Copies of this chain bind each other. A is one copy, B any other.
Amino acid sequence: MTVRIAVAGASGYAGGEVLRLLLGHPDVEIGALTAGGNAGSPLLAHQPHLLPLADRVLEETTADTLEGHDVVFLALPHGRSAEIAARLGDDTLVVDCGADHRLTDPAAWDRWYGGTHAGSWPYGLPELPGQRDELRGARRVAVPGCYPTVSSLALAPAMGLVELEVTVVAVSGTSGAGKALKPNLLGSEVMGSLSAYGVGGAHRHTPEIAQNLAKVAGGPVAVSFTPVLAPLPRGILATCSATLKDGDADVRAAYEKAYADEPFVHLLPEGHWPTTGAVLGSNAVQLQVAVDRDVNRLVVVAAIDNLAKGTAGAAVQCMNLALGLPETTGLSTVGVAP
């Protein structure tokens, strides 16, 4: 079987990473590559690392250009996916890397993104309890945000063990902010500096983390989330903590059990700690847990590549699930280090 795919938003980081991964996927043929303002320019001008596609020119992102493919990956600005998807047939698999269809609560959408919610799609985090089944055979998939991916996987197995008030401080590389031309994203500003943003629960990924954990916990979870920007292109390291209900609970066993059969989520052996360098370019999640007995608190540290498992890797993983391919096809747990 060869699947013909298209990528909308192929000049951005998410679109570029989808293509990087699909160039190594044995069952995929790369069709239309589209963009907004960059339409008409060679892909190589934006993705100089995708040499096998060096002869491609970006087309305009329209439903006409995208239709006729088996799978369409959307890597568009928030709020743009619904309209395009509505014009693609129900038999086309649409994998949305944007936020449009992640939240289930229309009020939450309106509060955090503004406007009318376009409705939720199957949520592309197969490692959450029960989630994988929703994705098999799906024809619409909402790829999770990068912070919600790492935070939810770090905390989900603890939901029965801790008080439902969690703190997440996640340090991220800059590619999570995309290619937007903002002064604070310039190399001169980023290198040699650390900054926090969206402090006080102001980041749009907060309700998505809360939604995921609430589903696992079976009730509302208070999430204090702070993202920090650090000088590296890729990677998120999340430090997540919560008060233990029972200080003697075997938290390690809970995590071992939760992820024993997961191909991409790895609880590291004791004494080893996650680093984002070790997962660079890979679809792996590295986790480690600790109990701080002085304050009776569980601390979980988790690392992902925000562009891979945090976006494009998840998108490919979900494509595999939706199409009935082996879930790990074209994906790797081997990072590019150092």
Interface residues of A, Cβ cutoff 8 Å to B: 13, 16, 20, 23-24, 42, 44-52, 54, 165, 167, 169, 171, 173-175, 177, 179, 181-183, 185-197, 199-202, 206, 222-224, 226, 228, 230-237, 239, 241, 243, 266, 268-269, 272-282, 284, 286, 288, 290-295, 297, 299, 301, 303, 332-338
Number of copies: 4
Are B295 and A165 closer than 8 Å at their CB atoms?
A: yes
Are B191 and A192 closer than 8 Å at their CB atoms?
A: yes
Q: Beyond A222-B294, A230-B171, A334-B51, is A187–B191 a contact (Cβ under 8 Å)?
A: yes
How far, in whole Å, are A236 and B196 apart by their CA atoms in the complex?
11
Choose one: B273, B286, B295; the contact of A201 (CB below 8 Å): B295
Are A51 and B284 closer than 8 Å at their CB atoms?
A: yes
Question: Would you give 29 A-B contacts (Cβ < 8 Å), ordered by A?
Answer: A13-B188, A44-B269, A44-B272, A47-B337, A49-B277, A49-B282, A51-B335, A52-B334, A167-B167, A171-B194, A174-B186, A179-B186, A186-B187, A187-B187, A187-B191, A191-B231, A191-B338, A192-B232, A192-B277, A193-B235, A193-B276, A193-B277, A194-B237, A195-B277, A196-B274, A200-B292, A206-B294, A224-B299, A226-B299
Choose one: B183, B222, B293; the contact of A181 (CB below 8 Å): B183
